[in-house]
Amino acid sequence: MQVNMVQEKQIGGVKARRTFSYVILTLTSIFCLIWFYILLINSTRSHGELTKGFTPIPSIHLFENLNNAFHSTQPILRGMLNSVIVAVCTAALSVYFSAMTAYAIHAYEFKLKKAIFTTILAIMMIPTQVTALGFLRLIDKMGMKNSFLPLIIPGIAAPIVFFYMKQYMESTLPMELLEAARIDGAGEIRIFNTIVMPLMVPAMAVQAIFSFVASWNNYFIPALVLEKEKKTLPILIAELRGADFLKFDMGVVYATISFSIFPVIVMYLILSKYIVGGLAAGSVKG
């Protein structure tokens, strides 16, 4: 009898904790998504309706706002393409070379290993704004002004992505597996591409999303480097917002911002299945 009572209390405690967790997660999700809801609602309203205050009911001006955005003085579609090129290339280079660097630090023993690791982590603390002036002078001397290269190439050296990859390797990449591959005669590049990378798919997918979003939302450096037809979408949105009073249309701005988040959502939907699938595979192997 007492055993049954104890079991019932334990089951009741589990249900209570589960219910509490669901409530907290639901409230957190609502709080995170409500801003997207407000953005989408405002993108359906005209400039005159927006000046009257917020309403939770959508209006009928979404396609009109998008049409005005695409036919405005700013090349929105071209800016979208520019942002996609920069973000995709940056994410790919950042993830691949950061994983390769993390593999070198994790798999090999050499004298300056700890010093190099500490230096890379120290670079994480340096803000982009501190090095912006020297960076601009460098790319100007190299003839890379108004080019995508200064935005893409620095993605090769991403200390934050490296640190995440290094921590992930320590928990999922056994050294015995690497030694077995070397005994079988596999070269280091082949080991990395055929053994290490498949094991790193969940971590690489997460960091690809983060790198893509960070590059997509980057405004500071592209605004200093790019001109005319090379401008990315954040720059064009800022210029729409900075239009003079007669040309300013808040509905167009909201519609453009809403349009700009769809590639980020598509990127997440493409990579999320690899995250879930990789985690599931890892749990089965464990």
pLDDT tens across the length of the chain (286 residues)? 555 555 666 666 677 788 888 899 899 988 888 888 888 898 888 888 888 888 888 888 888 888 888 887 778 888 889 999 999 999 999 999 999 998 888 888 888 888 888 888 888 888 777 888 888 888 888 888 888 999 998 888 888 888 888 888 888 888 888 888 888 888 888 888 888 888 888 888 888 888 998 899 888 888 888 887 888 988 888 887 766 666 677 888 888 888 888 888 888 888 777 766 544 444 434 4
Query: Token pair of 88, please?
Result: 């995709």
* CA–CA dist 172, 189 (Å, integer): 19
Query: Token pair of 270, please?
Result: 């493409």
**pTM exceeds 0.85:** no
Beta-carbon contacts of residue 155 (< 8 Å; ≥ 6 apart): 89, 90, 91, 93, 94, 211, 215
CB of 72 closer than 8 Å to CB of 64: no
- pLDDT score recorded for residue 1: 54
Could you tell me where the beta strands, DSSP code E, fall in the chain? none
- pLDDT score recorded for residue 280: 46
- pLDDT score recorded for residue 176: 84
- pLDDT score recorded for residue 13: 67
- pLDDT score recorded for residue 245: 60
The DSSP letter of residue 243 is: S
